[in-house]
């Protein structure tokens, strides 16, 4: 199987290439970043897809800075919506399947139970809206697609919450972290392996992919400090309003694992995934 990975040099894309080779060593992987094709340019995307002729095109490329998207809404939609449509359109011409990595932020966070794949989307920020538009563009354009929604990604190949917490702990006497947003942290290596497995099983439709368990950002911060040997650093819970971020965040964005379990796949608890992250050679101390 030939697999084209767009966004292959990002935090998830880097792990996806590495983990896919371990999960399905017989597959041929084609790494593509902005140097190979600017996802905002339809002609570049079409040329890349026609040259590589993949069986699967996996779209990891995205503008994921939530606050940045709020300030640069047009750019967010160019990358997260139009870019996805260009990939889908080109893939459809050659009969390739498309896997889109999406987000829990397509939901408004007003729920009180884990979100199922069929629940209506209602994004409350530009990032979520652009990703929801990308999902719709894929469904509209492609006849063979899979959308993997995930949440609270962390990994060693890019900026992530545990890294920021450990960097802050090294320079500040105490920390303040939001305690009224709840979700499921997801390790990029676990997500990467899952995407490879789903593609190998010719998955269709929407699948929710996150590590098991639920926590707040405050809980996530405390566990990061505990596991890294910095439990003595004081952490104070604050509200979302006190954090004063440009973009609104959903207060509850837990994804139900039932769609993933239907494929016989279960991910380990986020605490175990965090331990694996901290053990990586390039992880922060």
**Cβ count near 65 (within 10 Å):** 15
Which residues are part of the catalytic machinery? Answer: 127
Burial 90-106 (b: 16+ CB within 10 A, else e): bbbeeebbbbbbbbbbb
Pairing status of strand 2-6 against strand 175-178? unpaired
Which helix H or strand E contains 162, and what residues bound it?
helix 161-171
**273: number of CA atoms within 13 Å, CB side?**
27
Question: pTM for the whole thing?
Answer: 0.97
The two tokens of residue 149 are 């929604």
Which residues does the chain have with pLDDT short of 50?
A: none
The predicted-structure confidence for 14-48, as pLDDT tens digits, reads as follows 999 999 999 999 999 999 999 999 999 999 999 99
- Using CA atoms in the order 36, 42, 47, 53, what is the torsion angle rounded to 10 degrees? 90
The predicted-structure confidence for 83-132, as pLDDT tens digits, reads as follows 999 999 999 999 999 999 999 999 999 999 999 999 999 999 999 999 99
Please tell me whether residue 272 adopts helix, strand or coil conformation: helix
Residue 243 vs residues 18, 121, 208, 283: alpha-carbon distances, Å: 36, 25, 28, 26
Domains in the chain (CATH in brackets) are 2-159+184-212+253-270 (3.40.50.720)
Quick check: 19 and 8 in contact, CB under 8 A?
A: no
Would you state the pLDDT for residue 159? Answer: 93
């Amino acid at each position: 199987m030939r697999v084209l990975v767009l966004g292959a040099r990002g935090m998830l894309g880097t792990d996806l290439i590495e983990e896919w080779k371990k999960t399905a060593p017989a597959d041929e992987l084609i790494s593509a970043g902005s140097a190979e094709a600017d996802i905002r340019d339809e002609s570049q995307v079409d040329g890349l897809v026609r040259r590589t002729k993949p069986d699967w095109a996996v779209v990891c490329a995205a503008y994921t800075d939530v606050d940045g998207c709020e300030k640069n809404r047009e750019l967010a939609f160019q990358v997260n919506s139009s870019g996805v449509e260009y990939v889908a359109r080109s893939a459809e011409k050659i009969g390739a399947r498309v896997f889109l990595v999406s987000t829990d932020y397509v939901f408004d966070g007003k729920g009180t139970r884990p979100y199922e794949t069929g629940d209506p989307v209602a994004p409350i920020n530009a990032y979520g809206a652009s990703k929801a538009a990308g999902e719709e563009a894929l469904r509209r354009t492609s006849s063979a697609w899979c959308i993997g929604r995930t949440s609270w990604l962390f990994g060693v190949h890019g900026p992530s919450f545990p890294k920021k917490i450990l960097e802050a702990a090294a320079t500040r006497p105490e920390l303040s972290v939001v305690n009224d947003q709840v979700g499921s942290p997801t390790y990029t290596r676990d997500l990467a392996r899952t995407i490879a497995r789903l593609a190998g099983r010719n998955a269709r439709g929407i699948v929710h992919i996150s590590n098991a368990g639920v926590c707040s950002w405050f809980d996530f911060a405390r566990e990061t400090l505990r596991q890294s040997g910095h439990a003595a650093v004081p952490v104070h819970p604050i509200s979302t309003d006190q954090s004063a971020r440009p973009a609104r965040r959903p207060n509850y964005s837990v994804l139900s694992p039932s769609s993933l379990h239907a494929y016989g796949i279960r991910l380990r608890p986020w605490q175990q995934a965090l331990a694996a992250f901290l053990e990586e050679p390039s992880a922060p101390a």
